[in-house]
Amino acid sequence: MDSAPTGLARSVAKGKGRKGSISPFRMTLIGLAGVIPVVIGAVLLFLVVYAWPAIRFNGIDFLLTKTWDLGNLYADPVPRHGVLAPIGATYGCLVFVAGTLASSFLALLVAVPISLGIAVFLAEGVKRVLRTPFAIVVELLAVVPSVVYGLWGIIVLVPIAAHIIAPVLAAVFPFIPFLAQAGGSGFGLLSSSLVLALMVIPVITITVFEALNRIPKEAKEAAYALGTTKFEMVFFTMLPMIRPAIIGAIILGLGRALGETMAVLMVSGGALNYMPTTLMSPISTMASFILSQLDSAEQDQSGLAVQSLAEIAIVLFVITVIVNIVARLMVRKGAGVSR
Amino acid sequence: MTEVAIAPSFNRAATKHRAVAGRKLRSSLGWAFCGICFLLVAAPLIDIILLVLVRGFSALSVDLLTQVTQGVSGGLLNAIEGTIVLSIGALIIGVPIGVGAGVYLSEFGDGRFGQTVRFLADVLTGVPSIVLGYFSYVTMVIWLGWQFSVLAASITLAIMILPYMAKMTELVLRQIPIPMREAAYALGAGDRKVVLRVLLPVALPGILTAVLLSLAISVGETAPLIYTAGWSNYLWDGKLVRSPIGYLTYVIWSFINQPFASAHALAFAAALLVMMTVLAINLAARAILRVRGG
CA distance A266 to B62: 29
> Which residues from chain A sit within 8 angstroms of residue B187, using beta carbons?
none
Would the CB atoms of B139 and A42 count as touching at under 8 Å? yes
The shortest CB-CB distance from B27 to any of A35, A40, A229 is to A229
Q: Which residue of A has its CA nearest to B45?
A: A141
Mutate to test the interface with B, among A132, A148, A228, A324 (most CBs of B within 10 A): A148
Overall average pLDDT of the A254-271 stretch: 90
- Judged against a pLDDT cut of 60, whether residue B79 lies above it is answered with yes
pLDDT of residue B15: 72
Residue A315: DSSP 8-state: H
Q: Which of A224, A228, A320 sits opposite B126 (nearest CB)?
A: A320
Q: Is the pLDDT of residue B117 over 70?
A: yes
**Contacts with A117 from chain B: Cβ below 8 Å:** 33-34, 36-38
- Chain B CB contacts of A26 below 8 Å: 108, 191
Q: What's the pLDDT tens digit per position in B142-187?
A: 899 898 999 999 999 999 999 999 999 999 999 999 999 999 999 9
pLDDT at position B294, please?
Answer: 42
A1, A48, A96, A143: best to mutate for the B interface, most B CBs within 10 A? A143
Nearest to B47 among A25, A156, A225 (CB): A156
Q: How many angstroms away from the CA of B41 is the closest CA of chain A?
A: 7
pLDDT of residue B287: 83
CB contact under 8 A, A144 and B278: yes
What is the least distance, in Å, from the CA of B176 to any CA of chain A?
Answer: 9
Q: What is the pLDDT of residues B242-277, one digit of tens each?
A: 889 999 999 999 999 888 888 999 999 999 999 999
**B-chain residues near A115 (CB < 8 A):** 37
Distances (CA, A) of B209 to A93, A151, B88, B91: 41, 28, 15, 13
* Closest-approach residue (CA) in chain B for A294: B227
CA distance B22 to B104: 57
- Closest-CA distance, A98 to chain B, in angstroms, reads 18
Domains of chain A in sequence order: 96-287+322-338 (1.10.3720.10)
- The whole-number average pLDDT for the span A167-195 is 86
Mean pLDDT of A175-194: 85
CA distance to A107, B110, B181, B194, B200, per residue, from B197 (Å): 48, 23, 11, 6, 7
* pLDDT, greater one: B29 or A175: B29
The pLDDT of residue A3 is above 70: no
Q: pLDDT band at A145, cuts 50/70/90?
A: very high
Q: Do A33 and B221 touch (CB under 8 A)?
A: no
Tell me the mean pLDDT in the region B32-49. 94
Which residue did the predictor score with more confidence, A102 or B74? A102
Decide if B52 and A150 are in contact by the 8 Å CB cutoff.
Answer: no
CB proximity list for A182: less than 8 A, separation 6 or greater: A166, A167, A169, A170, A171
Cβ within 8 Å, pair A287-B223: yes
Structure confidence at residue B290 as a pLDDT band (50, 70, 90): confident
Quickly state the pLDDT bin for A69 (edges 50, 70, 90): confident
Domains of chain B: 84-247 (1.10.3720.10)
pLDDT confidence band for B94 (50 / 70 / 90) = very high
* B50 half-sphere exposure, CB direction, 13 A CA radius: 7
What percent of chain B lies above the pLDDT cut of 70? 94
> Does the pLDDT at position A297 exceed 90?
no
Q: Among A151, A201, A252, A260, pick the best mutation site for testing chain B contact (most B Cβ within 10 A).
A: A151
Q: Which chain B positions have a beta carbon within 8 Å of A118's beta carbon?
A: 34, 37-38, 41
| A100-140 residue pLDDT tens | 999 999 999 999 999 999 999 999 988 888 998 899 999 99
Judged against a pLDDT cut of 60, whether residue B106 lies above it is answered with: yes
**pLDDT at residue A308 greater than cutoff 60:** yes
What average pLDDT does the structure give for chain A? 86
With beta carbons under 8 A apart, name residues in chain A contacting B122: 324, 328
Confidence band of B13 (pLDDT split at 50, 70, 90)? low
Per-residue confidence (pLDDT) for residue A13, from 0 to 100: 44
| Contact (CB<8Å) B138/A47 | yes
Q: In Å, how far is B192's CA from the nearest CA of chain A?
A: 6
Please answer whether residues A297 and A309 qualify as being in contact, where contact means their C-beta atoms are separated by less than 8 angstroms. Answer: yes
Looking at the partner chain, which of B34, B48, B138 has a beta carbon nearest the beta carbon of A117?
Answer: B34
Quickly list DSSP for chain B. Answer: -TT------SS--HHHHHHHHHHHHHHHHHHHHHHHHHHHHHHHHHHHHHHHHHHHHHH--HHHHHS-EETTEE-SHHHHHHHHHHHHHHHHHHHHHHHHHHHHHHHTTTSHHHHHHHHHHHHHHHS-HHHHHHHHIIIIIIIS---S-HHHHHHHHHHHHHHHHHHHHHHHHHTS-HHHHHHHHHTT--HHHIIIIIIHHHHHHHHHHHHHHHHHHHHH--HHHHHHT---SS---S-SSS-----HHHHHHHHTTSS-HHHHHHHHHHHHHHHHHHHHHHHHHHHHHHHHH-
The answer on pLDDT for A11 being more than 60 is no
Nearest CA in chain B to A319: B127
CB-count exposure of residue A225 (10 Å: 0-12, 13-18, 19+) = exposed
Dihedral over Cα of A82, A84, A90, A93: its sign: negative
* Whether residue A51 has pLDDT greater than 70: yes
Q: What pLDDT, on the 0 to 100 scale, is given for residue B12?
A: 56
Cross-chain Cβ contact B194/A230 below 8 Å: no
Residue B33 Cα, gap to closest chain A Cα (Å): 7
Contacts of A309 in chain B (CB under 8 A): 134
Report percent pLDDT > 90 for chain B.
64
Per cent of chain A over pLDDT 90 is 46
Instruction: Give yes or no for residue A304 having a pLDDT over 80.
Output: yes
Residue among A136, A317, A328 whose CB faces B119 most closely: A328
**Which of B275, B244, B227 has the alpha carbon at shortest distance from B82?**
B244
- Per-residue confidence band for A70, with pLDDT thresholds at 50, 70 and 90: confident
Write the pLDDT tens digit of every residue in A320-334: 999 988 888 887 776
Question: What is the nearest CA distance from B239 to chain A, expressed in angstroms?
Answer: 24
C-alpha distance from A189 to closest chain B C-alpha (Å): 19
Contact B97 A227 (CB under 8 A): no
Residue B53 pLDDT exceeds 90: yes
Q: What is the mean pLDDT of residues A20-44?
A: 90
Dihedral (CA of B251, B256, B258, B264) sign = positive
